[in-house]
């Protein structure tokens, strides 16, 4: 049952992030220009799309090719790529928060370099997971294939390395979110002092940005906890807590794409058109 829920969530997440990438790339081709916000959204959605696809591949390999999946080198490569994509998605979400916080000309021309440099930093931060950070042992009494080992995960180096990789991006993320909330609070105070009785579109835009960013932080926190618990292998397979961790990790990309779409008027409008077209197409086929 947990595999079914995870598969459904994964398909929705891949579809949602795929729509975001497709819409922004189409606009780029048609207009021959790409805004800084759209560029960040493309990188963010692509990283989450790849992360979700890689998770699905891990699940398939662990279920149908356990001998291959449990090989020491293969296991490390899987985890390293998960860390790289996880770090990258957090960096891109942090830059989106910074962009919402400071929409100024001096920042927009730095966006491409910030995205590339944060990707390289994420790649370097994930390299330690290729090393032997696990307590690996081989049970000589068990029938194990050549090159396959049983692993006893030491949780401390896992958490230490993971926190080193995310600390800077998380600091940028939280700082920009606090500045954004502070800006909204000051803006609200000014409107209350004026007491015009009219809603300010700038404040509505601020509120939408804050809702998206805070939702990202909450989602990332739960995904982080579930990922660490899963990598630690402290729960037995198919136990209640194991199912919860898998469902939470699978739900992260799906909810992330939904938040991005609902928080962006352009993406929301195009997605509504796509859903309307899909409903009409299904109705015409059923008749």
Q: Helix 111-126 to helix 36-64 angle, to the nearest 10 degrees?
A: 20
Rounded CA gap, 66 and 64, in Å? 6
pLDDT for 206 equals: 63
DSSP label of 148: B
List pLDDT tens digits, range 238-259. 677 877 887 787 777 777 788 8
pLDDT for 231 equals: 66
> Is the per-residue pLDDT at 39 higher than 60?
yes
Angle at 48 between CA 164 and CA 78, to 5 degrees: 65
- Residue bearing tokens 């390395």: 161
> Is the per-residue pLDDT at 135 higher than 70?
no
Instruction: Please report which residue ranges of the chain form alpha helices under DSSP H.
Output: 2-31, 36-64, 66-69, 72-101, 105-108, 111-126, 155-194, 201-232, 240-262, 265-286
Length of the chain: 287
List pLDDT tens digits, range 252-287. 777 778 888 887 777 888 888 887 787 777 777 766
Question: In this structure, are residues 132 and 149 in contact, taking their beta carbons and an 8 Å threshold?
Answer: no
DSSP label of 71: B
pLDDT for 158 equals: 59
Phi, psi for residue 151 in degrees, rounded to 5? -115, 135
Measured torsion, CA atoms of residues 76, 3, 54, 246, in degrees rounded to the nearest 10: -60
> Is the per-residue pLDDT at 199 higher than 70?
no
**What average pLDDT score do residues 214-222 get?**
80
The domains located in the chain, with CATH, are: 2-130+157-286 (1.20.1070.10)
Question: In this structure, are residues 91 and 122 in contact, taking their beta carbons and an 8 Å threshold?
Answer: yes
pTM for the model:
0.72
Q: Would you say the C-alpha torsion 248, 163, 96, 43 has a positive or negative sign?
A: negative
Q: Where residue 2 falls among pLDDT bands split at 50, 70, 90?
A: low
**What average pLDDT score do residues 28-32 get?**
84
List pLDDT tens digits, range 66-105. 888 778 788 888 888 888 888 888 888 888 878 877 664 4
More confident residue, 164 or 52: 52
- Structure-block tokens of residue 180: 């954004």
Question: In this structure, are residues 137 and 150 in contact, taking their beta carbons and an 8 Å threshold?
Answer: yes
- Residue bearing tokens 């090719």: 65
Q: Where residue 173 falls among pLDDT bands split at 50, 70, 90?
A: confident
> Is the per-residue pLDDT at 140 higher than 50?
no
Q: Would you say the C-alpha torsion 216, 217, 223, 227 has a positive or negative sign?
A: positive
Residues with Cβ within 8 Å of 158's Cβ and at least 6 positions away in sequence, in order, are 133, 228, 231, 232
pLDDT for 119 equals: 86
> Is the per-residue pLDDT at 194 higher than 80?
no
pLDDT for 43 equals: 92
pLDDT for 162 equals: 64
Q: Mean pLDDT score of the chain, rounded to an integer?
A: 74
């Amino acid at each position: 049952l947990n595999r079914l829920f995870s598969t459904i969530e994964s398909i929705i997440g891949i579809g949602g992030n795929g729509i975001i990438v497709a819409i922004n790339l189409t606009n780029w081709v048609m207009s021959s220009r790409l805004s800084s916000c759209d560029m960040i959204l493309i990188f963010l959605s692509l990283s989450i799309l790849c992360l979700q696809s890689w998770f699905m591949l891990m699940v398939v390999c662990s279920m149908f090719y356990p001998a291959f999946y449990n090989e020491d080198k293969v296991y490390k490569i899987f985890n390293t790529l998960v860390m790289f994509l996880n770090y990258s998605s957090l960096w891109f979400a942090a830059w989106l928060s910074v962009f919402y916080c400071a929409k100024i000309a001096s920042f927009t021309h730095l966006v491409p370099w910030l995205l590339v440099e944060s990707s390289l930093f994420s790649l370097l931060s994930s390299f330690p997971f290729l090393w032997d950070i696990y307590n690996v042992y081989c049970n000589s009494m068990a029938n194990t294939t050549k090159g396959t080992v049983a692993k006893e995960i030491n949780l401390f180096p896992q958490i230490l390395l993971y926190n080193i990789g995310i600390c800077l991006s998380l600091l940028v993320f939280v700082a920009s979110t606090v500045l954004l909330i502070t800006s909204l609070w000051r803006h609200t105070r000014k409107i209350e002092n004026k007491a015009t009785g009219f809603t300010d579109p700038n404040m509505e835009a601020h509120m939408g940005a804050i809702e998206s960013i805070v939702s990202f932080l909450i989602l990332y926190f739960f995904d982080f906890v579930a990922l660490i618990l899963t990598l630690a292998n402290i729960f037995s397979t198919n136990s209640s807590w194991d199912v919860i961790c898998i469902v939470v990790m699978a739900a992260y990309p799906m909810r992330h794409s939904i938040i991005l779409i609902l928080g962006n008027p352009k993406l929301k409008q195009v997605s509504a058109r796509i859903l309307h077209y899909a409903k009409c197409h299904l109705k015409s086929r059923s008749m």
